[in-house]
């Protein structure tokens, strides 16, 4: 291994935005010269000089950074909206369940009241039937008493006629 033999060094991939490989097309070494030293390491000074010398690339980098930040924020906002929607749906379901329970409770009270009213109705009907039966009995008694009173003077007259004869 001589001074000119660098085969032991691993070849480096050009790094893109924030060291993410795969974005080499955006940050091609053709746009800014980077000086290499043995084993493929980068000189920081050369990299900073290249950024400063290309304001268009720096502007592009900032735009990409903002776009990624907005995309991440939209993803967080979407997840937050989904969470809020899930909470709202759960709250609506709970409200609906409470409303259903209140309605069932009100229906149960109405059923109980209707049963009580039906019982009272049967009691009143029975009472009215008893009163009607008693009135009919009293009317029959009264008719019998009248009939017996009407027969009494006639009987007296008959008895007196029969007795005088």
Asked which of 23-32, 65-74, 146-155 is least confident by mean pLDDT, the reply is: 23-32
Asked which of 39-43, 72-76, 90-94 is least confident by mean pLDDT, the reply is: 39-43
Q: Answer yes or no: is pLDDT of 26 > 70.
A: no
The pLDDT of residue 23 is 46
The residue ranking higher by pLDDT, 162 or 27, is 162
Percent of the chain with pLDDT strictly greater than 90: 35
pLDDT band at 17 (very low <50, low <70, confident <90, very high): very low
Q: Per residue, what are the HEC states of the chain?
A: CCCCCCCCCCCCCCCCHHHCCCCCCCCCCCCCCCCEEHHHEECHHHHHHHHHHCHHHHHHHHHHHHHHHHHHHHHHHHHHHHHHHHHHHHHHHHHHHHHHHHHHHHHHHHHHHHHHHHHHHHHHHHHHHHHHHHHHHHHHHHHHHHHHHHHHHHHHHHHHHHHHC
**0.85 exceeded by pTM:** no
Between CA 97 and CA 91 the distance in angstroms is 10
pLDDT band at 50 (very low <50, low <70, confident <90, very high): low
The pLDDT of residue 24 is 45
Are the beta carbons of 32 and 53 closer than 8 angstroms?
yes
Between CA 23 and CA 68 the distance in angstroms is 14
Q: Answer yes or no: is pLDDT of 16 > 50.
A: no
The pLDDT of residue 21 is 47
For strands 41-42 and 36-37, give the pairing: antiparallel
- Give residue-wise pLDDT tens across range 94-143: 999 999 999 999 999 999 999 999 999 999 999 999 999 999 999 999 99
């Amino acid at each position: 291994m001589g001074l000119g033999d660098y085969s032991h060094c691993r070849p480096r991939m050009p790094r893109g935005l924030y060291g993410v490989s795969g974005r080499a097309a955006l940050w091609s070494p053709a746009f800014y010269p980077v000086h290499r030293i043995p084993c493929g390491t980068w000189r920081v000074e050369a990299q900073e000089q290249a950024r400063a010398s290309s304001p268009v690339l720096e502007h592009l980098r900032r735009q990409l950074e903002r776009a990624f930040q907005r995309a991440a924020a939209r993803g967080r906002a979407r997840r937050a909206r989904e969470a809020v929607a899930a909470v709202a749906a759960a709250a609506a379901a709970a409200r609906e369940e409470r409303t259903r329970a209140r309605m069932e409770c009100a229906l149960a009270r109405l059923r109980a009241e209707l049963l009580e009213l039906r019982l009272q109705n049967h009691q009143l009907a029975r009472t009215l039937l008893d009163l009607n039966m008693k009135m009919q009995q009293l009317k029959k008694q009264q008719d019998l008493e009248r009939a017996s009173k009407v027969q009494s003077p006639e009987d007296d007259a008959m008895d007196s006629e029969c007795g005088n004869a």
